[in-house]
Amino acid sequence: MKIGDPVAYLDSLRELDRNVFVLGERCDCTVDHPLVRPSANAVAESYNPGEEPEAEGLLYATSHLTGRKISRFAHIHQDTSDLVDKVLMQRLLGRRTATCFQRCVGMDGFNALYSVTYECDQVHGTHYHSRLKDYVEWVQDENIVIEGAMTDVKGDRSLRPNQQADPDMFVHVVDRTPEGIVVRGAKAHQTGALNSHEILVMPTTAMREGEEDYAVSFAVPAGAKGITFILGRQPSDTRKVEGVPLDVGNPTFGSQEALVIFDDVFVPNERVFMCGETDQSGKVVERFAAFHRQSYGGCKVGVGDVIIGAAQLASQMQGSVKASHVRDKIVEMVHLNETLFSCGIACSAMGLETPAGNYDVDPLLANICKLNVTRFPFEIARLAQDLAGGILVTMPSQKDFENPEIAPYLDKYLRGVNGVPTLDRMKVTRLIENVTVGCGAASYLTESMHGAGSPQAQRIMIARLADLDEKVRLARRVAGIED
């Protein structure tokens, strides 16, 4: 693996030549920008073998293409144990970082396209599957970060892609040459875009006849000509530039999203994995969605572990930990978090082999997992805020604690249990604030709601996959009612 550790990964970002804007200004080196560096640190943790006994087996796998040791983030799932290990890896990294570590979308995109390109070749006589395998092998050997790009900006939601007043509201092909294609459009809410080496683009919805130009999937370098990145804002994000780590709450790690614009970007044929096959586009969307909805049963659970620990620690520091209602709330948080994890494991254990030879998750259970994720983290966050108390949003700044005139007052009047340093109490309170109110809420709460599709998307899939006719048949049989 070319990139073998966190330092090498961060150095590789410094070598990228991209067109990036942060707060309205061009940014030549995102990895050293204080608004972006915490998110780069979170990705770097995926390159850190760590000290956990299970980390080696979870972070790395054996490539079915080469037999070499690779990052699991570049692995094509070969059985249900791979699917389970993926969820366990995501929980591990969520525990380390208490945020989104940004490599899951690319991994899920690879695995969705692996089976779809195979099936597309069978139907249309194309050669996408061999191209994808070559690309995946290269990614595995380089050990680079792939940003999975699915969400289009969509424009008027009441109109189809080919009905928009501006055709660029969905990424589409604007020119075809013997050497490749030219694409235009934009992808929104792109998690980890500024920390990725390559962009893997997929269609955002099932395309229909007449929308062939929008049924496109491809990969391009992040620095390709015509690509522009614009960093999105997060709550309280400028605390990161104030030089007061205590006020940030999670000063080392974070996440980021960006708007990624494709302005007549050329894609060579060997990087094109779908181009015009509208009948195959819906498969990409559904299979990717299932994989990514499975992912949330791992990553959000790992962050939940940190929140639960912070709530328990805050209760200890303020002397309320033995109160029965506090114990009940902590138990409820654990119950909700482990329910999410159970769903992630269940859809993995029930996975099935595809004709291409890789394994998909159980789509119904994956959608059940994600629909729970749109609810439970919000309740976990509410309980954490309840236990932290009002000081969560009234706490003075670290600079106040550093002012010799008022610091003694703060140390005296904001102390909890005797013997517990006041600053330690402030640190854990800021951590809860970060994950449930500030920057961290973007990757924990908002991402739980909208990432991998908003709740209605899961409801649609659940209704489609529930097989209600079979359930009616079972009820008729038990009740003795003839069909």
Domains and CATH numbers, the chain: 283-473 (1.20.140.10)
* Single pTM value for the model: 0.96
Residue 277 annotated in active site: no
Show Cβ contacts of residue 142 under 8 Å, excluding neighbours closer than 6 positions: 1, 2, 3, 197
How large is the average pLDDT for residues 77-86?
A: 98
Cα Rg of the chain (Å, integer)? 23
Residue 299 annotated in active site: yes
Catalytic residue among 27, 120, 275, 299: 299
Tokens of 13: 């970002």
- Identify the CA nearest to 179 among candidates 292, 244, 271: 271
Please count the other Cβ atoms lying within 10 Å of the Cβ belonging to residue 198: 20
Residue 259 exposed, middle or buried by CB count within 10 Å (0-12, 13-18, 19+): middle
Question: Does residue 110 carry a pLDDT above 80?
Answer: yes
How large is the average pLDDT for residues 167-178?
A: 98
Q: Which pLDDT does position 462 carry in this prediction?
A: 96
Question: Does residue 1 carry a pLDDT above 80?
Answer: no
Residue 58 exposed, middle or buried by CB count within 10 Å (0-12, 13-18, 19+): buried
Residue 189 annotated in active site: no
Please answer whether residues 387 and 317 qualify as being in contact, where contact means their C-beta atoms are separated by less than 8 angstroms: no
The backbone torsions φ and ψ at residue 252, rounded to the nearest 5 degrees and listed phi first, read -85, -40
- Identify the CA nearest to 193 among candidates 225, 227, 216: 227
Catalytic residue among 27, 100, 275, 439: 100
User: What is the tens place of the pLDDT at every residue in 229-281?
Assistant: 999 999 999 999 999 999 999 999 999 999 999 999 999 999 999 999 999 99
Residue 128 annotated in active site: no
For tokens 């499975």, the residue is 294
Residue 47 annotated in active site: no
- Identify the CA nearest to 168 among candidates 90, 265, 75: 265
Please answer whether residues 430 and 439 qualify as being in contact, where contact means their C-beta atoms are separated by less than 8 angstroms: no
Using DSSP's 3-state secondary structure scheme, residue 149 falls into strand
User: What is the tens place of the pLDDT at every residue in 115-151?
Assistant: 999 999 999 999 999 999 999 999 999 999 999 999 9
Alpha-carbon distance of 387 to 307, in angstroms, equals 11
Residue 327 exposed, middle or buried by CB count within 10 Å (0-12, 13-18, 19+): middle
Alpha helix ranges (H) inside 46-97? 55-59, 80-97
Residue 275 annotated in active site: no
Can you say whether the dihedral through the CA atoms of 236, 241, 246, 252 is positive or negative? positive
For 79-105, b where at least 16 C-beta lie within 10 A, e where not — what string? ebebbbbbbbbbbbbbbbbbbbbbbbb
Residue 114 annotated in active site: no
Alpha-carbon distance of 217 to 275, in angstroms, equals 7
Show Cβ contacts of residue 324 under 8 Å, excluding neighbours closer than 6 positions: none
Question: Does residue 305 carry a pLDDT above 80?
Answer: yes
Catalytic residue among 77, 114, 292, 359: 292
CA 162 to each of CA 149, 182, 201, 221, 247: distance values in angstroms, whole numbers, following the listed order: 20, 17, 18, 27, 47
Q: Which pLDDT does position 201 carry in this prediction?
A: 98
Please count the other Cβ atoms lying within 10 Å of the Cβ belonging to residue 286: 19
Which residue spans within 111-195 are E strands per DSSP?
A: 146-149, 172-177, 180-191
Residue 25 annotated in active site: no
Using DSSP's 3-state secondary structure scheme, residue 360 falls into strand
Alpha-carbon distance of 306 to 252, in angstroms, equals 14
User: What is the tens place of the pLDDT at every residue in 372-393?
Assistant: 999 999 999 999 999 999 999 9
Catalytic residue among 118, 128, 296, 359: 296
User: What is the tens place of the pLDDT at every residue in 390-420?
Assistant: 999 999 999 999 999 999 999 999 999 999 9
Please answer whether residues 116 and 131 qualify as being in contact, where contact means their C-beta atoms are separated by less than 8 angstroms: no
Which residue spans within 27-145 are E strands per DSSP?
A: 60-62, 69-71
Q: Which pLDDT does position 420 carry in this prediction?
A: 97
Please answer whether residues 291 and 111 qualify as being in contact, where contact means their C-beta atoms are separated by less than 8 angstroms: yes
Report residue 483's pLDDT band, with 50, 70 and 90 as the boundaries: confident
Catalytic residue among 104, 343, 347, 369: 104
For tokens 């859809």, the residue is 347
Report residue 78's pLDDT band, with 50, 70 and 90 as the boundaries: very high
The 8-class DSSP code of residue 147 comes to E
Catalytic residue among 30, 99, 151, 191: 191
Residue 44's H or E segment, with its range, is helix 37-44
Alpha-carbon distance of 336 to 310, in angstroms, equals 16
Alpha helix ranges (H) inside 350-446? 363-373, 376-388, 398-401, 407-413, 422-436, 439-441
Please answer whether residues 83 and 149 qualify as being in contact, where contact means their C-beta atoms are separated by less than 8 angstroms: no
Tokens of 30: 């995102």
Mean pLDDT over the full length of the chain: 97
Question: Does residue 340 carry a pLDDT above 80?
Answer: yes
Show Cβ contacts of residue 468 under 8 Å, excluding neighbours closer than 6 positions: none
Tokens of 137: 């092998």
Residues of the chain with pLDDT > 90: what percent? 99
- Identify the CA nearest to 88 among candidates 444, 341, 351, 397: 341
